[in-house]
Amino acid sequence: MTQAMLEDLVEGLRVPTDLFVGGRWVAAEDGGRFAVVDPATGEEIAHVANGTVEDARRCVDAADAAAAGWAATSPRRRSEILRRAFELMTERGEQIAELMVRENGKALPDARGEVAYAAEFFRWYAEEAVRVSGDLRTAPSGANRIVVLRQPIGISLLITPWNFPAAMATRKIGPALAAGCTVILKPASETPLTALALAEVLADAGVPDGVVNVLPSRRSGAVAQAVLADPRVRKLSFTGSTEVGRTLLQLAADQVVSCSMELGGNAPLVVLEDADLDVAVDGAMVAKMRNGGEACTAANRMYVHRSVATEFTERLARRMADVTTGPGLSGAALGPLVNADAVQKVHELVEDAAARGARVLVGGRPGDGQGFFYPATVLADVPTGARILQEEIFGPVAPVVTFDDDDEAVRLANDTEYGLVAYVFTRDLARGLRLAEALDCGMVGLNRGVVSDPAAPFGGTKQSGIGREGGHEGLLEYTESKYVAVDW
């Protein structure tokens, strides 16, 4: 057994850098490792075991060996272990936050916010674990009873993105463990360290060997294919881009694996003429700038009624101009983007909009020093054909478009293949609720720039995904209903 540890990443912090399989820290079967890079400097900060296809099979074996025992563990015991994981994660919160800043780049306040949010999924699902209820009905004919059991769906493959390295993992591990499933977590290659720190939290909280296995790998496609080809694996829960989601849905089809998909977003933020502009600007700032704009829920398109567009845009531009940019641990409000490609993509979208006639009010140029920095940017008068209104920006850029009436706002907002979340600002609650019903998406923030909550069903319509995470719904994704027809 090896247990490579990284000790100098953040002073005093020891983070495992091996694979976590069957409760043991092990090197990759071929000894390979890959580099993790600090986006603030471009420097390598760790070398993590690079899981192979053979390691993927070992993970399935470990998850299989633990499956019956974990499914038979009492809900109360599962609940207590998850509650302990919440407490340990909270105790280690500052270390995990610093780790996330180093591998993801996000500003420290965003990282602290994510740790608190992520830990809440352990607490919420500790509370849900003892409430997995079945159902008892009478057949309409009166001939018999219908008993509905909710059983663990089985071994689950969890694949997570780099933008929320902790929360996207706990949002899957919490309900899977509560339901009695064993899991294999494949974290994003950019941010494996946070996932490995979580594996330690879970092991220390008393999760039995093999119930949670963590498989960092640069060979994402090959290891996912190997896991999904194994008929013992019954669930795929994926958070990431729509493009990779489509590929995984096709792979999952071979063994008819149940899929929960949290994919890309292109959130509209609609400001009606009767909105309280203080509330709307505050909401727009958080909806745009939480996590530096690298969020599937980030406001991607701001639709503002013509009568308030100038005032809203000026106020937003002033707030965005005040956003400080720098390394995540420096006290800056905005850290670097995750890598050089991300900076290039964001800048291409800004240049395309500007070339089509958009006005750049703030920002609009990448940083010229080391690290992958892009400043807070506001674009006004963005024309409908601009790519930035169709593609996920995943950066700190706010394009503003004007509209004239509610019908036009709904039409523009729904004009996208995505349907994750929308934000609406109005003082008229009935009008806001009418718009919420008309918007084709899974979630609506009404006079709020944040919708994420462990107690609420998170997810999207159209090409933003299938299924829900969080709330009671999130747990049901890891159960299978079994119906027993009974005479008595």
Q: Identify the residue whose tokens are 């013992």.
A: 232
- Among the options 181, 259, 296, 441, which is catalytic? 296
Position 188 contacts ligand NAD (CB under 6 A): yes
Question: Nearest distance from residue 343's CB to ligand NAD, in Å?
Answer: 14
Residue from 6, 216, 206, 214 nearest 99 by CA:
6
Give dist(CA 187, CA 169) in Å, integer: 8
Stretch that binds ligand NAD, among 78-86, 106-114, 187-195, 276-284 (CB under 6 A): 187-195
> Which CB atom, from 6 or from 188, has the smaller least distance to ligand NAD?
188
Give dist(CA 373, CA 395) in Å, integer: 10
Question: Nearest distance from residue 222's CB to ligand NAD, in Å?
Answer: 8
> Which CB atom, from 267 or from 380, has the smaller least distance to ligand NAD?
267
Out of 41, 247, 339, 390, the only residue in the binding site for ligand NAD (CB under 6 A) is 247
Active site annotation includes 296: yes
Query: How much is the CA Rg of the chain, to the nearest whole Å?
Result: 23
* Number of residues located near ligand NAD, criterion CB under 6 A: 29
> Which CB atom, from 18 or from 262, has the smaller least distance to ligand NAD?
262
Which residues are registered as beta bridge partners of 155?
Answer: 233
Question: Nearest distance from residue 239's CB to ligand NAD, in Å?
Answer: 5
Distances (CA, A) of 296 to 102, 378, 422: 21, 19, 11
> Which CB atom, from 14 or from 57, has the smaller least distance to ligand NAD?
57
Stretch that binds ligand NAD, among 29-37, 237-245, 320-328, 477-485 (CB under 6 A): 237-245
Are the C-beta atoms of residues 202 and 83 closer than 8 Å to each other? no
- Among the options 114, 262, 294, 477, which is catalytic? 262
Distances (CA, A) of 38 to 19, 113, 343: 21, 20, 15
Sites for ligand NAD among residues 138-167 (CB under 6 A): 159-164
> Which CB atom, from 202 or from 244, has the smaller least distance to ligand NAD?
244
Out of 183, 244, 337, 439, the only residue in the binding site for ligand NAD (CB under 6 A) is 244
> Which CB atom, from 121 or from 162, has the smaller least distance to ligand NAD?
162
Out of 90, 189, 255, 390, the only residue in the binding site for ligand NAD (CB under 6 A) is 189
Out of 152, 180, 216, 265, the only residue in the binding site for ligand NAD (CB under 6 A) is 265
Are the C-beta atoms of residues 198 and 86 closer than 8 Å to each other? no
Which positions from 411 to 430 touch ligand NAD by CB under 6 A, shown as an x/- string? ---------x----------
Give dist(CA 394, CA 265) in Å, integer: 9
Position 443 contacts ligand NAD (CB under 6 A): no
Is residue 411 helix, strand or coil? helix
Give dist(CA 461, CA 438) in Å, integer: 13
Active site annotation includes 392: no
- How many residues belong to the chain? 488
DSSP assignment of 96-153 equals HHHHHHHHH---HHHHHHHHHHHHHHHHHHHHHHTT---EEEE-TTSS-EEEEEEEE-
Closest CB to ligand NAD: residue number: 240
Question: Nearest distance from residue 150's CB to ligand NAD, in Å?
Answer: 24
Give dist(CA 79, CA 352) in Å, integer: 51
Are the C-beta atoms of residues 90 and 166 closer than 8 Å to each other? no
How many CA atoms within 13 Å lie on the side-chain side of 471?
11
> Which CB atom, from 295 or from 386, has the smaller least distance to ligand NAD?
295
Neighbours of 136 (CB within 10 A): 10
Neighbours of 370 (CB within 10 A): 12
Stretch that binds ligand NAD, among 49-57, 137-145, 244-252, 369-377 (CB under 6 A): 244-252
Judged by the rule CB under 6 A, the positions of this chain that interact with ligand NAD are 159-164, 168, 186-189, 220-221, 224, 239-241, 244, 247-248, 262-265, 296, 392, 420, 460, 465
**Catalytic residue positions, numbered:** 262, 296
